[in-house]
Amino acid sequence: GISEQMRNKIGDRCRKACIEIGYRGAGTFEFLYENGEFYFIEMNTRIQVEHPVSEMITGVDLVKEQLRIAAGQPLSIDQSQIQIRGHAIECRINAEDPNSFIPSPGKIEMFHPPGGLGVRWDSHIYAGYTVPPYYDSMIGKLITYGESRDEAIARMRHALDELVVDGIKTNIPLQQRIMADENFYAGGTNIHYLEKKLGLS
């Protein structure tokens, strides 16, 4: 993982960059971290798909704060009030074949969302909903929180087992395999992890 000192260093660079360019609103800086060094990749000037992870570990409603900024209001908090607590993991649930990644549009015959302590499900789908072939294949986001990484992973495993989306193919089986993988569980996987896991490299 990344040390608290390194996280603070990266955060400070991002804060200074936002001040320098006069940036207002939600945005995400992306970095590659390898061998103790971090390298800037890009900045996305929008709310990220993964924003629930940040919300769960900080308790800050990022969409609410973004709306405040858009309305010309100040943020309701400042940086010194943000405390990172615990761990969160997000799995994007896609309507696609878990082996070939080919989109799988069609009608959802059965649907049951997961629930419980530390579990968040963001989606628009329901039993009877037809997934169209024209858009991105993501049909939901499953996010779990835990006081430790192990607890967040354990909750994700249970939540994935509880999630039912029948009638179309989804990547739920792939997400389950990843959560059960010893290398993922141990942490420290690199950018080639998934390629190796799927036998693509």
Check whether residue 42 and residue 137 sit in a common domain: no
* Angle, alpha carbons 155-3-88 (nearest 5°): 20
Q: Give one DSSP letter per residue of 105-120, joined into a string.
A: -EE--EEE---STTEE
| Total number of domains constituting the chain | 2
Q: How many helices (H) and strands (E) does the chain have?
A: 7, 9
Check whether residue 47 and residue 107 sit in a common domain: no
| Residue after which a domain boundary falls, among 81, 112, 145 | 81
What pLDDT, on a 0 to 100 scale, did the predictor assign at position 80? 87
Determine the structural domain holding residue 110 and report its residue range: 87-197
Cβ atoms within 10 A of the Cβ of 184, count? Answer: 16
Cβ atoms within 10 A of the Cβ of 89, count? Answer: 20
Flag residues of the chain having pLDDT under 50. none
What pLDDT, on a 0 to 100 scale, did the predictor assign at position 198? 81
Active site residue 157: no
What pLDDT, on a 0 to 100 scale, did the predictor assign at position 193? 83
Check whether residue 124 and residue 35 sit in a common domain: no
What pLDDT, on a 0 to 100 scale, did the predictor assign at position 201? 64
What pLDDT, on a 0 to 100 scale, did the predictor assign at position 164? 98
Closest by Cα among 166, 197, 200 to 179: 197
Check whether residue 170 and residue 188 sit in a common domain: yes
Cβ atoms within 10 A of the Cβ of 85, count? Answer: 11
- From the candidates 13, 46, 68, 157, which is the catalytic residue? 46
Dihedral pair phi/psi, residue 44, rounded to 5°: -100, 120
Check whether residue 96 and residue 74 sit in a common domain: no
Write the CATH number for 66. 3.30.470.20
What pLDDT, on a 0 to 100 scale, did the predictor assign at position 26? 86
What pLDDT, on a 0 to 100 scale, did the predictor assign at position 147? 98
Please give the share of the chain, as a percent, with pLDDT higher than 90.
75
